[in-house]
Amino acid sequence: MEHYRSLKTLQQDLLTKKISVSTFTHQTISNISSNKHLNAFVEVFEESALASAKIIDEKIQNGQPLGKLFGLTIAIKDNIVYKNHRATGASKILEGFISPYSATVVERLLEEDAIIIGSTNCDEFAMGGSNENSYYGAVLNPHDTTRVSGGSSGGSAVAVAANLCLAALGSDTGGSIRQPASFCGIVGLKPTYGRVSRYGLMAYGSSFDQIGTFTHNIEDAALILEIFSGKDDYDATCSPRKVPEFSKQLSTDKKYKIAYYKNALTHQGVDEEVSNACHQFIEKMKMEGHVVDAIEFDELEYIVPAYYVLTTAEASSNLSRYDGVKYGYRADDASDLESTYKKTRTQGFGKEVQRRIMSGTFVLSAGYYDAYYAKAQKVRRIVAEKTYKTLEDYDFILCPTAPTPAYKIGEVQDSVASFLGDIFTVQANMAGIPGISLPLFRTTEGLPIGIQLMTARWKEEKLLAFSQHLLQKFELQ
Ligand code: GLN
């Protein structure tokens, strides 16, 4: 089967009848099934995907108007709901849950004739950075199946990287799109907080969470973003501002001002090849005539602790809805309301989720609130203000996406060590700014290394246009 890596190419072949949407969808499904060992999908929505494909084929046949995404096979992270389909957030506690409604993003994709091909594996309720915290087990990295996919949206990253679909949705609370995109060698985009509706996304840290995309290229990311962004009456944090046509503004030959943090590249946890890749990138940018400055970022050491205080606090509240009464799994050895709560939550939540709920409850508790939660809020404000100030002077902040390439499955055992892997991604969520990971480098062993660019809020058009330029200049694949 021919692997399509761009929607434009697929759509040309569909319009010239080189292939039908149904045939393509069938091929995609059988390809997913022959790559089951990667563990990228939780479920393939075979019936509804083939039904959508048939309708689109009829439209093509009859010359009827087609949606902008016609034929796009797109997977959704298992924490995004689709009406009448299962969604579990990769947690046992949602076993058997079938969603009575669709997320706004899913509705908007379907309106444009996309095909929702299935749900993808992830860390339980998006808590993790390696996909090893999933009820369904780890996802294997297609570049080296002994290594992790990254996380939490590991299944979505692998689904795209292994050509099991053209695009996938993920959620990014502290790096869950950008980091697995970096580990898997594809494009991962986290939009501005408030750009995309979170209605229908299982909440983790509501003031951080944002839905975004995994794609092979920038055109597809831009098109999907412009389609699913914008005002939604079901999410008050979703901005009513007009959504630009990102996909039509992808060319740029401007000279930009780029900042990078000196201490980021010399940080002890940063792999040498990752730091070399950044230095190489910086040199190329300078040679192209961009201004690249090293600046200070003294708060680098504080952002991960502050992030974990704030997100676990929010999670402890958000996850209280899973109690064995309203959704999914219920312990059958419980005898009254309290034991139902206790046993269901003990049996239904995995260890990492339990730890986070407990630490979130702790940092919010009466005696510790000021020392932890209130303090972390102050750190967040300082980081955000500093970020906005930097982005008044510079077009982009440049960083590695992750300190290392994909590590071995089982290699990082304790959660605190894994938290340090988020050091370069959480800033964008703390400040609500957009960030993208671009697959620009490889290690000598051939593992992908992502370069991350961040820009000011609502400036995705600039971020996407420059990313397009970079991928065209540097692309390795
Ligand atoms: N690794 C981070 C965490 O575990 C980020 C997760 C995410 O972005 N959903 O919180």
For atom 4 of ligand 1, which residue has the closest CA?
128
Give the pLDDT confidence of 47-71 residue by residue, as tens digits: 999 999 999 999 999 999 999 999 9
Strand ranges (DSSP E) for 58-135? 73-77, 115-120
Nearest to 300 by CA among 262, 257, 244: 262
Distance from Cα 252 to the centre of ligand 1, integer Å: 32
Pocket of ligand 1 (CB under 6 A): 126-129, 152, 171-176, 204, 311, 422
Residue-wise pLDDT tens digits, 186-207: 999 999 999 999 999 999 999 9
Cα of 45 vs centre of ligand 1, distance in Å, is 26
Cis peptide before 467 (omega within 30 of 0): no
Question: For position 474, what pLDDT does the model report?
Answer: 73
Looking at residue 327, its pLDDT comes to: 86
pLDDT of residue 399: 96
Nearest atom in ligand 1 to 422's CA: 1
**Cα–Cα distance between 9 and 23 in angstroms, integer?**
16
Relative to beta strand 167-172, strand 144-148 is: unpaired
Known catalytic residue: 251? no
Kind of pairing between the strands at 187-190 and 210-215: antiparallel
Looking at residue 416, its pLDDT comes to 80
List Cβ neighbours of 324 (8 Å cut-off, separation of 6 or more): 93, 330, 331, 334, 340, 341, 343, 344, 345, 348
Query: What is the distance in A from the centroid of ligand 1 to the CA of 172?
Result: 7
Candidates 20, 91, 99, 152; catalytic one: 152
* Token output for 411: 């290699």
Hey, whose CA ends up nearest to atom 10 of ligand 1?
127
Residue 430 in contact with residue 383, Cβ under 8 Å? yes
Measure the CA dihedral 384/212/280/256, to 10°.
Answer: -60
Q: Which of 127, 149, 418 should be mutated for ligand 1, with most atoms under 8 A from CB?
A: 127
Of these residues, 99, 130, 156, 176, which one is catalytic? 176
Q: Answer yes or no: 286 catalytic.
A: no
CA dihedral 58, 60, 65, 66 (to 10 degrees): 100
What would the DSSP string read from start to end of 273-305?
A: HHHHHHHHHHHHHHHTT-EEEEE--TTHHHHHH
**Beta-strand relationship, 187-190 and 435-442:** antiparallel
Beta bridge partners of 437: 188, 452
CA of residue 169 to ligand 1 center, whole Å:
15
Strand partners, 212: 170
Backbone phi, then psi, for 445, in 5-degree steps?
-80, -5
Looking at ligand 1, which atom is closest to the CA of residue 177? Answer: 8
pLDDT of residue 418: 87
Q: Which atom of ligand 1 is nearest to the CA of 127?
A: 4
Beta-sheet pairing, 396-400 with 257-261: parallel
Q: Which residues contact 51 (CB under 8 A, 6 or more apart)?
A: none
- Cα(403) to ligand 1 centroid in Å equals 15
Alpha carbons within 13 angstroms on the beta-carbon side of residue 391 total: 25
Helix, coil or strand: residue 183 = helix
Q: Tokens 């045939």: give the residue.
A: 23
Under a CB-based contact definition with an 8 Å cutoff, are residues 91 and 135 in contact?
yes
CA of 422 to the centre of ligand 1 (A): 8
Measured on CA atoms in the order 152, 153, 154, 157, is the torsion positive or negative? negative
The rounded Å distance from CA 166 to ligand 1 centre is 24
pLDDT at 270: 95
Q: Measured in angstroms, how far is the CA atom of residue 354 from the centroid of ligand 1?
A: 15
Q: Which of 125, 152, 189, 419 to mutate to test the pocket of ligand 1 (most atoms within 8 A of CB)?
A: 152
Could you tell me the end-to-end alpha-carbon distance of the chain, in angstroms, rounded to an integer?
19
Residue 173's pLDDT is what? Answer: 98
- Whether 437 is catalytic is no
Query: Does residue 159 contact residue 186 with C-beta atoms inside 8 Å?
Result: no
Domains of the chain, start order: 7-248 (3.90.1300.10)
Given ligand 1 and candidates 311, 415, 430, which is best to mutate, with the most ligand atoms within 8 Å of its CB? 311
- pLDDT value at residue 477: 36
Top mutation candidate among 123, 169, 210 for ligand 1, by most atoms within 8 Å of CB? 123
State which ligand 1 atom lies nearest to the alpha carbon of 126. 9
Q: Please, what sign has the CA dihedral across residues 75, 80, 83, 87?
A: positive
Which atom, in ligand 1's list, is nearest to the CA of 129?
Answer: 1
Per residue of the chain (477 residues), what is the pLDDT tens digit? Answer: 778 999 999 999 999 999 999 999 999 999 999 999 999 999 999 999 999 999 999 999 999 999 999 999 999 999 999 999 999 999 999 999 999 999 999 999 999 999 999 999 999 999 999 999 999 999 999 999 999 999 999 999 999 999 999 999 999 999 999 999 999 999 999 999 999 999 999 999 999 999 999 999 999 999 999 999 999 999 999 999 999 999 999 999 999 999 999 999 998 899 999 999 999 999 999 999 999 999 999 999 999 999 999 999 999 999 999 999 988 999 999 999 999 999 999 999 999 999 999 999 999 999 999 999 999 999 999 999 999 999 999 999 999 999 999 999 999 988 887 888 999 999 999 999 999 999 999 999 999 999 999 999 999 999 999 999 999 987 553
